Amino acid sequence: MSAVRFDANLNTERPTFVTHLECGLTGERYEADTVHNLSRAGRPLLVRYDLDGVRRTLTKEALAARPLDLWRYRELLPVRRVADIVSLGEAVTPLVPLPRLSARLGGGELLVKDEGRLPTGSFKARGLVMAVSMAKAFGLPHLAMPTNGNAGAALAAYASRAGIRATVFCPADTPEVNVSEIEAQGAAVHRVNGLIDDCGKIVGQGKAEVGWFDVSTLKEPYRIEGKKTMGLELAEQLGWDLPDVIFYPTGGGTGLIGMWKAFAELEAIGFIGAKRPRMVAVQAAGCAPMVRAWEAGEEHAPRWEDAHTLASGIRVPQAVGDFLILRAVRESGGFAIAVTDDAIQAALDEAAREEGFLLCPEGAATYAAYKQALADGRVGRDERAVLFNCATGLKYPLPPVSRALDRHQPIDWASFR
């Protein structure tokens, strides 16, 4: 038997099973293979598959023989032809144990799904690789989006790879590294004196004025499909079992919604049983619309005014898919939790110094939330928990170091003992 090529998932045509799209709120059905943004109700569209067909076609054994990248799950993805796949090497991201922190806290197995290993250094690559691949399939010439940083970088990279024009709008205080990488990777990036939803309004207005296609979070159907691969990977990595609880940094919430969808699809094709993790939506205390709505028992989350947090990726005052996030949290028996910026910074420092793991601020928020939930009993001390680190910590400002040594002067060796 010949070895499997590293790019077999990108070059082998596979059967596709998309049947239609449907409104996440009303269930209204929409035609597949047609360009869509939101539904007529102004809500996200969800991609639906012939899951019986997938069940008859795809086996765990066949899947195990494929290269370890995002595209191994082609039967559960919307891109029909390999010619439309736009890839920069979306490898399966590792699960990294944090045994010292777990032992210190007296908790169960603690794992981090490290999304910083993806192209452009964040989990935004998953959603944007799918959105841009579908844009290529549809022949869309110009894409636009608002961003807090990482999504814009992913759009820029994949749009350039596909030969598609991209325009990005970001808050004026977006980290410089994000703004620079967006521009360096070929998109036109504009700073805006406002928050991400203010940037989104500009994108919406430009849709009519300029004619670009809006790839904002949940305003097109395919970023969810890319993000759901986090759930597909997680299940496969854990031997088709699922953890007891997942802590997910939640701004727009695409990944949380996508994973919940992935688990339902995996059960439908017979890869997992009915067990589900409790889904925990983690937000910052300075921007916690989902936490407020969850605590109030509401289905929708009104805009959070004066949003502020050092974890800029979760500084999203209002999400168009709020009801889908809250639905997943409630159906799973999970909860929404807010952590302070001080707790986020402390968690980041602790993980770096104790485990050598440099979390991004949003990932650190999940560790802070885990500590809080373990202490108040919402997570049991024998439960397996997975934290999502959504980007490499190297993208964010690090503390300055002033310690220096003059090689021409006597060295105080005692200071090293």
Q: Are residues 111 and 147 in the same domain?
A: no
Per-residue confidence (pLDDT) for residue 15, from 0 to 100: 97
Residue 113 has a CB neighbour count (10 Å cut-off) of 25
What's the pTM value of the predicted model, to 2 decimals? Answer: 0.96
Per-residue confidence (pLDDT) for residue 4, from 0 to 100: 81
**Domains contained in the chain, number:** 3
Which segments within 207-334 are labelled E, that is strand? 213-214, 245-249, 278-284
On whether residue 404 sits in a domain, the answer given is no
On whether residue 164 sits in a domain, the answer given is yes
Q: What is the DSSP letter of 82?
A: G
Q: Are residues 240 and 382 in the same domain?
A: yes
In angstroms, the CA 42 to CA 45 distance is 9
Q: What is the pLDDT along the chain (417 residues), one digit of tens a residue?
A: 467 889 999 999 999 999 999 999 999 999 999 999 999 999 999 999 999 999 999 999 999 999 999 999 999 999 999 999 999 999 999 999 999 999 999 999 999 999 999 999 999 999 999 999 999 999 999 999 999 999 999 999 999 999 999 999 999 999 899 999 999 999 999 999 999 999 999 999 999 999 999 999 999 999 999 999 999 999 999 999 999 999 999 999 999 999 999 999 999 999 999 999 999 999 999 999 999 999 999 999 999 999 999 999 999 999 999 999 999 999 999 999 999 999 999 999 999 999 999 999 999 999 999 999 999 999 999 999 999 999 999 999 888 999 999 999 999 999 999
Say which CATH number the domain at 147 has: 3.40.50.1100
Q: Are residues 207 and 243 in the same domain?
A: no
Per-residue confidence (pLDDT) for residue 2, from 0 to 100: 62
Q: Are residues 246 and 358 in the same domain?
A: yes
Q: Are residues 302 and 362 in the same domain?
A: yes
Q: Are residues 152 and 102 in the same domain?
A: no
| Cα angle 79-83-86, degrees, rounded to a multiple of 5 | 70
On whether residue 339 sits in a domain, the answer given is yes
- Domain range enclosing 131: 124-214
Residue 105 has a CB neighbour count (10 Å cut-off) of 16
Whose CA is closest to 132, among 103, 97, 168? 168
